[in-house]
A and B are shown apart, each in its own frame.
Chain A
Amino acid sequence: MSKRERIASLLRTPAGQNLARGVLLFAVLAVWQWGISAGLRFWLSSPAKIAEKLGSWIADGSLWGHLGATLLVMSLGYTIGCIFGILVGLLLAFLPRTRQILAPYLSALNALPKIALAPLFIIFLGIGITSKVALVAVTVFFLLYSSTSDGIANIDLDLTRTLRLMGATRVEVIRKVMIPASFPWIFSGMRIAVRYAFTNALLAELISANSGLGYLIEFYSGNFDSSGAYAAIAVLVVISVAITEILTRIEQRFRNLPRDFPA
């Protein structure tokens, strides 16, 4: 086997691919570091300086405070938004006339990019955590409201009719047909909403905050300290990957459902 063939066969194994990935990363970082020392512009920072910054944040513990702040905003807003979105979606499904009246307003608000509301939330609620939680919650609320009502709109009426003929009460039809039937839609709404919650928490922090990853990026960029901004972005990359990975795991667990279960 020639050398080329050996490399090709190595690259077909998972370990070989990971090795290639590592080499690629190292090469990019090395070229970057070399370029900086050869006199490139300061706003590119350098891998060494970024690592140094990250190290100092970990050493003084400030990283955990900022990371925690972002995750807190995200998870509080997400939870509140999910609960109210699902509740309102279910409630309006059983109040068709109210829903018809509200529909144009709800779809107008749904279409509005929620980030536009961020400055208003800051006026109403201050620059603390509340205004940021509100922005995330509102974003998630509309996502979950629409996926829940879509789910209920797609229920097979023959199924509810079958249960009604068996003698099911309204509540029993809701519990045994409507909620399980709309569950896949609700779940897919919840899955999409995680990413929106993360993005909006970050955007809110970029606009105005005194803690959080978004705040770090904004603060260091404002001070022309590109190492700090890159370090915060590096943390962001790790968190995004972690969130995606967790979601994929949860989804795989739910894949045990029957094949024709809409998802």
Chain B
Amino acid sequence: MATRDVAAPMQAKIVLQGAGKRFDARGREMRALEPIDLEIGSGEFVALVGPSGCGKSTILNLIAGLLAPTEGRVLYDGTPVVGLNRSVGYMTQKDNLLPWRTVKANVRVALELKCRSTTSGDIDARVAAMIETVGLTGFEAHFPSELSGGMRKRVALARTLIYEPETLLMDEPFGALDAQLKLLMLDQLQRLTRDRRVTVIFVTHDLGEAITLADRVVVFSARPGRIRAVRHSSFERPRDVFKLRFAPEFAGLYEDLWDELKDEVGKGTDV
């Protein structure tokens, strides 16, 4: 990965210009996302929070190129996203592990692809290191069906991080984990993405998670999704994910964001 001057101003990695999405559901028009404008800088960590059905996942799908906007444009590195965007790593709520591959073989799958041209000796070392990072040493030979939900999530994280995509799209990746494990994973995610200056867009329901990790927290309104508020979470990095919650500024920001969010939660279509 190219080394970047840390002091240089952030150039926009991802730009949504009036990008919106309508669906045609049984002849009735459904709006998943109102046209929105959003710029995400290179190396920035942005958290998207909002009630269920507000279009947060739609934004990730637009950036990944899994969906095309019905209005406006989505630019990646200045060019419109057409077809699948191969520069992103995408972690969905579902772990999408290959059931016939062991943990080790799942983690290495991206490195086996021609576009990575990694030598096999190199692969083994990197896979072993990554499995250790996510705390799954000893489970290399297990199949996904033999793991708990949290372990499967960690395999999915390892599999996504190992090929070092320059942008990470994460859709509630740790939603199913218990509180302690979640903090451990957040800590690992923070370290791994900071070291490599990865751009991250992180969808979550958890305000604490958003404040802990992100540079910027974007609050969405209920369906159809609009940007309601944007707040900067300017805690010094690296952050202590275990103790940050007890800082007074954290509580202030939490309250501020909750004020924005609480009016919207009741309007969520799933509630």
A residues neighboring B (CB under 8 Å): 156, 158-159, 161-169, 172, 176-177, 180-181, 183, 257-261
Contacts and interface: CB of A to CB of B under 8 A. Distances in A.
B100 interface: yes
B89 interface: yes
A43 to B, nearest CB: 55
A167 B84 CA distance: 9
Contact of B100 (A161, A163, A166, A261): A261
Contacts of B116: 167
Given A165-B90, A169-B114, A261-B143, 4 more contacts: A158-B96, A162-B96, A176-B112, A260-B145
B90 A258 contact: no
Size bracket, chain B contacts: 20 to 34
Contacts of A165: 64, 84-86, 88-90
Contacts of A162: 90, 96
A180 B116 CA distance: 22
B110 interface: yes
B114 A159 contact: no
Contacts of B89: 165-166
29 contacts: A158-B94, A158-B96, A161-B66, A161-B84, A162-B96, A163-B109, A164-B84, A165-B85, A165-B86, A165-B89, A166-B86, A166-B89, A166-B109, A166-B110, A166-B163, A167-B115, A167-B116, A168-B113, A169-B115, A172-B113, A172-B114, A176-B98, A176-B109, A180-B98, A180-B100, A181-B100, A257-B100, A258-B146, A261-B99
Contacts of B88: 165
Contacts of A176: 98, 109, 112
Nearest to A181: B100
A167 B99 contact: no
A259 B145 CA distance: 6
B113 A167 contact: yes
B42 interface: no
B17 interface: no
B233 interface: no
B143 A177 contact: no
Contacts of A177: 98
Given A172-B114, A180-B98, A261-B99, A167 B86 contact: yes
Nearest to B110: A166
Contacts of A169: 113-115
